[in-house]
Copies of this chain bind each other. A is one copy, B any other.
Amino acid sequence: MKTKITLKELSKLLNVSVSTVSKALNDSPEISPKTADRVKELAALHNYRPNPVAVNLKKNKTGTIGVVIPNISNTFFAGVLSGMEAEAQKNNLQVITYISNESLDREKQICDLLTSGFVDGVLIAVSEETQRKQEYDHLFSLVDYEIPLVIYDRINIDIPADKVGVNDERSFYDATKFFKSKGCKRIGLASAIHHVGVGKLRMKGYQDGMAPDEMFTATSTNMDDLKTKIYKLITENDLEALLCTDFMSSILASRIAYEHNLKVPEDLKIIGYISSEIAEYLSPSISYIEQHAAEIGAKATELLSERIEGHKNSSEFSEVIVKTTMMHLESTTF
């Protein structure tokens, strides 16, 4: 790599000291306007830019934040990253990306890196495995090192940190009420994530919207099994509407309609939890709950940036809920 011009070289060319050059470029009031101009002119001429590594060493920081993502092929997380990157640029922070692939082991490795001084702060959504096993020691080690930390999306974890997520319970309550307001009586729920935190919250929202004796649910973590159960649920109860808590159940609902020639929305209305990218392109398109991924990412980054700047009380943590939006496509046309 070409060696860039340094302060020292600049100072030699200008016949002033390194300190003077540094102060001039940093707009210090100590320096005379005349000198400042001379310095800046030559710096511009040589396209001088301070070596960020040196500046960071001096200031005892890294200028970077670490983002841990469970699965980047999930467009929700891709959107989150996009929001983070945009907000980070505004705060002059570089985003270092780590992908855990939903693996606890990988997540531990990453946290080990994170505590060794590569970043000024961390944004993390824990992996599925971590959630299931509820093993959070590696996250507490971030806390021990006093690395500013914001947890996003999967936020039902008992860790002292800022959190940014969505109101999962409310979104399903609202969706249920939406169907009721349209006169639907037999409303079912399908879930492949009934065993994890967010899944439980979404189911709770549905339950709160329904009378106890009028609920219809199909749950399984096995794709084929769930498919059979959903089909049975629909046909045996002559469902008018179906809520799906996750990607797999949403896709299965779409698939079942296609294979069994169920008319959607005529015979069955569907609301899924699925990315717009996919929901829009299914035939028929499936109405979905939009999570505003980029906004979640931006908000999380904003909170982290404030922590890094030290603007916030170190023992008080905020929990920000970014509201979801119901997006109506063909599957909920009345």
Report A's interface with B, CB cutoff 8 A. 1-2, 4, 49, 51-54, 56-57, 62-64, 67, 72-73, 75, 78-79, 81-82, 85-86, 94-99, 101, 115-118, 120, 144-148, 251, 254-255, 257-259, 277-278, 281-284
Contact B94 A118 (CB under 8 A): yes
Contact A258 B278 (CB under 8 A): no
Interface majority SS (helix, strand, loop, mixed), chain A? mixed
A75 to chain B, nearest CB (A): 6
Chain B residues whose C-beta falls within 8 Å of the C-beta of A115 in the assembled complex: 49
Chain B residues whose C-beta falls within 8 Å of the C-beta of A95 in the assembled complex: 96-98
Q: Say yes or no: A53-B51 contact (C-beta < 8 A), given A1-B147, A118-B94, A283-B254.
A: no
Chain B residue at smallest Cβ distance from A145: B2
Contact B2 A146 (CB under 8 A): yes
Chain B residues whose C-beta falls within 8 Å of the C-beta of A97 in the assembled complex: 67, 81, 85, 95-97
Chain B residues whose C-beta falls within 8 Å of the C-beta of A251 in the assembled complex: 281
Q: Say yes or no: A98-B73 contact (C-beta < 8 A), given A52-B117, A53-B62.
A: no
Q: Say yes or no: A282-B284 contact (C-beta < 8 A), given A1-B146, A53-B62, A94-B118.
A: no
Chain B residue at smallest Cβ distance from A2: B146
Cα–Cα distance between A284 and B282 once the two chains are bound (Å): 10
Contact A53 B49 (CB under 8 A): no
Cα–Cα distance between A75 and B85 once the two chains are bound (Å): 17
Q: How many copies does the complex hold?
A: 2
A63 to chain B, nearest CB (A): 8
Cα–Cα distance between A284 and B257 once the two chains are bound (Å): 11
Cα–Cα distance between A254 and B148 once the two chains are bound (Å): 47
| Apart from A1-B120, A73-B78: 8 A-B pairs, beta carbons within 8 A | A1-B146, A49-B116, A52-B116, A72-B72, A75-B75, A85-B99, A95-B97, A258-B284
Q: Which of B57, B82, B258, B277 contacts A283 (CB 8 A)?
A: B258
Contact A54 B52 (CB under 8 A): no
Chain B residues whose C-beta falls within 8 Å of the C-beta of A96 in the assembled complex: 64, 94-97
Chain B residues whose C-beta falls within 8 Å of the C-beta of A52 in the assembled complex: 62, 116-118
Cα–Cα distance between A220 and B206 once the two chains are bound (Å): 44
Contact A145 B1 (CB under 8 A): yes
A285 to chain B, nearest CB (A): 9
A14 to chain B, nearest CB (A): 21
Cα–Cα distance between A118 and B254 once the two chains are bound (Å): 46
The 8 A-B residue pairs whose C-beta atoms are closest, nearest first, are: A258-B283, A2-B146, A49-B116, A97-B97, A72-B78, A94-B96, A53-B57, A251-B281
Cα–Cα distance between A56 and B117 once the two chains are bound (Å): 12
Contact A281 B254 (CB under 8 A): yes
Q: List 26 A-B contacts (CB under 8 A).
A: A1-B146, A1-B147, A2-B144, A2-B145, A49-B116, A49-B117, A52-B62, A53-B53, A53-B56, A53-B117, A54-B57, A57-B57, A63-B118, A64-B94, A64-B96, A72-B81, A94-B96, A95-B96, A95-B98, A96-B97, A97-B97, A254-B281, A277-B278, A278-B278, A282-B282, A283-B283
